[in-house]
Amino acid sequence: MDHFLTIFDLSTEEMKGLLKRAAKLKQLRQEGRLPKPLAGQNWALLFEKSSTRTRVSFEVGVNLLGGNAFYMSPDQIQLGRGEPLEDTARVLSRYVDGLVVRTFGHDRVKTLAQWGSIPVINGLTDLCHPCQLLADLLTVQERLGTVEDFKSAWIGDGNNMAYSWIASAAVLGFTLSLACPSGYDPAPTAMAKAKELGAKVEVVRDPGQAVAGADVINTDVFASMGQEAEAAQRLKDFAGFQINRELVEKANPGAVVLHCLPAHRGEEITEEVLEGPQSAVFDQAENRLHAQMAVLEALARR
């Protein structure tokens, strides 16, 4: 593995290996016995969008593994004044050992990976959010004891998170049913790729149909970062696509409720469900740290 840009790049063995290692690193951290594979290394975080979880879990994760991490937003560096990504990639590669990037177009992380000579980790693009999926599936493993033999329901926008759930279903083989309003389907490229890999993935219009027989119920905000101007229209278009008690009761008993956070209570999910006994959202958020340490360790060049 040279970079970590999308779940589709992983083999089943690689993905299961990362999840297994993430669980082990979680245990080692609790025991105060983490290894230091990043000793002497410097990792840069280049973020063109806001972040709480991704930023902090990467900064802390790099530090826990013995390295140093620092944050840059485009307005603090010449990128924001028009310096090309290709030059930024080559210059940063002369100083740092790895790069975590959060940006808009997925092409931007690909360009940084292509022009630089250091590992690049995708910390979210408009297309996908692979780091989040490792944390989500670590949480599923903890709660259900499997990452292959379960059904997951996705309710709402066919966005970057949906893309990475589709890719994960393709790589691991679990069943995924996505309920999206018309006009908000997931990227056709994700569905086509997943189907080609034999994935058990479907898009339906009825959230009740998606959650029937589901062991995991999952959602995300109606308007992602960069879509603020569409927020009011989306709120109307997503009416009926809320995770609430009534919908949860249609899933398998004890189904695990996930949300990558930040959440908009009362929109895509009710306060009652988010804070309720079936919600695993804060374990899920914590697992970002452990899952990403597994990625950092796998990419660290010595």
Find the binding residues for ligand NVA in span 87-146 (CB under 6 A): 124
224 binds, among ligand NVA, ligand CP, none (CB under 5 to 8 A by kind): ligand NVA
Tell me the Ramachandran region of residue 66: left when phi exceeds 0, alpha when psi lies from -120 to 50, beta otherwise: left
- Provide the token pair at 79: 């990128």
Distance CA(50)–CA(214), nearest Å, equals 32
User: Quick check: 249 and 255 in contact, CB under 8 A?
Assistant: no
Farthest-apart Cα atoms in the chain, separation: 55
Binding span for ligand CP by CB under 6 A among 31-39, 48-56, 103-111, 192-200: 48-56
Distance CA(8)–CA(114), nearest Å, equals 17
Nearer residue to ligand NVA within complex by CB, 6 or 159: 159
* Residue 87 known to be catalytic: no
Active-site residue identified among 41, 132, 141, 284? 132
How many CB atoms are located within 10 Å of the residue 33 CB?
A: 9
Nearer residue to ligand NVA within complex by CB, 124 or 194: 124
Q: Which of 6, 41, 51, 111 binds ligand CP (CB under 6 A)?
A: 51
How many CB atoms are located within 10 Å of the residue 262 CB?
A: 12
* Residue 102 known to be catalytic: yes
Distance CA(252)–CA(300), nearest Å, equals 40
User: Quick check: 102 and 47 in contact, CB under 8 A?
Assistant: yes
Q: Is 225 in the site for ligand NVA (CB under 6 A)?
A: yes
Active-site residue identified among 21, 143, 259, 288? 288
Nearer residue to ligand NVA within complex by CB, 88 or 164: 164
Q: Is 124 in the site for ligand CP (CB under 6 A)?
A: yes
Find the binding residues for ligand CP in span 128-187 (CB under 6 A): 132
Residue with tokens 């030059």: 87
Residue type, 235: L
* Residue 129 known to be catalytic: yes
* Residue 302 known to be catalytic: no
Distance CA(156)–CA(179), nearest Å, equals 6
CA atoms within 13 A on the CB side of 191: 12
* Residue 260 known to be catalytic: yes
Cβ at position 145, least distance to ligand CP in Å: 24
Q: Which of 136, 220, 268, 297 binds ligand NVA (CB under 6 A)?
A: 220
* Residue 290 known to be catalytic: no
Binding span for ligand NVA by CB under 6 A among 62-70, 73-81, 153-161, 167-175: 153-161
Active-site residue identified among 3, 21, 53, 102? 102
Distance of CA 3 to the CA centre of its chain: 15
Find the binding residues for ligand NVA in span 250-279 (CB under 6 A): 260
Q: Which of 5, 100, 260, 294 binds ligand CP (CB under 6 A)?
A: 260
Distance CA(75)–CA(62), nearest Å, equals 23
Q: Is 160 in the site for ligand NVA (CB under 6 A)?
A: yes
Q: Which of 261, 278, 286, 298 binds ligand CP (CB under 6 A)?
A: 261
Distance CA(171)–CA(173), nearest Å, equals 6
Q: Which of 122, 159, 164, 284 binds ligand NVA (CB under 6 A)?
A: 159
Q: Is 23 in the site for ligand NVA (CB under 6 A)?
A: no
User: Quick check: 1 and 14 in contact, CB under 8 A?
Assistant: yes
Active-site annotation, residues: 102, 129, 132, 220, 260, 288
Site residues, ligand NVA (CB under 6 A): 124, 159-161, 220-221, 224-225, 260
